[in-house]
Amino acid sequence: MPKVLISDSMSNIAQKIFEKNNISFDVKTGLSEDEIIKIIPEYDGMVVRSATKVTKKIIESAKNLKVIGRAGAGVDNIDLATAKEKNMLVMNTPGGNANATAEHAFALIMSVLRKTPFANETTHKGQWEKKNIKGTELSKKTLGIVGFGNVGVRLSYLVKGFDMKILVSSKSLESRKRDFPHVNNVSFEELITNSDVISFHCKAAPDGKPLITKEHYKKMKPTTYIINAARGNIVDEKDLNDALKENLIAGAAVDVFSKEPAKENILFNNPKAILTPHIAASTTEASIVVAEMVANQISDFLLNGKKINTV
């Protein structure tokens, strides 16, 4: 009977699926790298979310491991090169939390445009800041979506009622253009120059370099808002902080950080930045879907050799 280690907390639907498939499993969360190294030789499969860092050392000690499943989209917590070297399959659950992430990006857009966190905080304190809070409307503005995978596409549909112009910068969109007549595929430069809200939904660059630099901010309208619910290193935090302080842009909302958990960050206490702790995909619905997908995929692979959503 194959054996799977579930090393991050996730919906117990994953356990039910393994049980149903006669796959034995252990749920052991919060383990250190050394603790995982000690136990990993027992397992044929491993399921993680983002907390477990599946390092080179873990993979090299995993003598029987055949598959690592990520309940989520990003696989930046898994050493893919070593996994490939060791012939280990890595799977994720694309699309499983796309709606949750797009909805959070949308919520961030509305919050930063209407200054909702500040309004909430001050009203709770009995301060009546009505005169000091003037929002910006989203309707009829231009939304720039960088990256047009599951999340970017979903966001483009969510804003449909807002009568927006949607610009997209995506290499893969050219061949799929006919499926998305409601968006315009433009260059990155065009997108940043013309958008009122720029929302990132792409992968980080392989070398980890940020996609926007100081020079890019200078080309944006001073009324532009930046949203990052993708990965922390896509938008350099120091450059973003400087751009906000120098009034090169109007505001930002950030869900992801270069270092997580973000216990300290240059953006902390910048009143023009709204920050959330990487919760875009954290909904009841999405956590069930990703756990279900990953457990089914791992079961299918361990029992039938079927490879689904491999990275």
| Residues at the site binding ligand MLT, with contacts judged by CB under 6 A | 49-50, 72-74, 97, 281
C-beta of 23 vs 286, nearer to ligand MLT: 286
Shortest CA distance to 235 belongs to which of 173, 51, 135, 224? Answer: 224
What contacts 87, CB < 8 A, 6 or more positions away? none
| Nearer Cβ to ligand MLT (72/147) | 72
User: Do 247 and 222 form a contact (C-beta atoms < 8 A)?
Assistant: yes
Query: Least CB distance from residue 295 to ligand MLT, whole Å?
Result: 16
- Give which of 18, 7, 19, 87 is closest to 54, Cα–Cα: 7
Residue number with CB closer to ligand MLT (204 or 244): 204
Rounded to a whole number of angstroms, the minimum distance from the CB of residue 196 to ligand MLT is 25
Q: Could you give the strand order of the β-sheet that contains 273-275, starting from the edge strand earlier in sequence? A: 184-185, 165-169, 142-146, 197-200, 225-228, 251-254, 273-275
Least Cβ distance, residue 135 to ligand MLT (angstroms): 28
- What are residue 45's phi and psi, to 5 degrees? -140, 160
Report residue 203 as tokens: 């992968």
182 is catalytic: no
Question: What totals of helices (H) and strands (E) does the chain contain, helices first?
Answer: 11, 12
> In angstroms, what is the minimal distance from the CB of 31 to ligand MLT?
18
Cβ nearer to ligand MLT, comparing 74 with 117: 74
Is 260 marked active-site?
yes
Mark whether 114 is an active-site residue: no
Residue 256 in tokens: 């992801």
Q: The tokens of 258 are what? A: 């270069």
Cβ nearer to ligand MLT, comparing 143 with 281: 281
Nearest CA among 223, 249, 222, 252 for reference residue 237: 252
Least distance in Å: CB of 13 to ligand MLT?
16
Active-site option among 49, 231, 237, 292: 231
Catalytic residue among 33, 60, 190, 260: 260
Question: Which is the catalytic residue, given 49, 154, 201, 278?
Answer: 278
Catalytic residues: 231, 260, 278
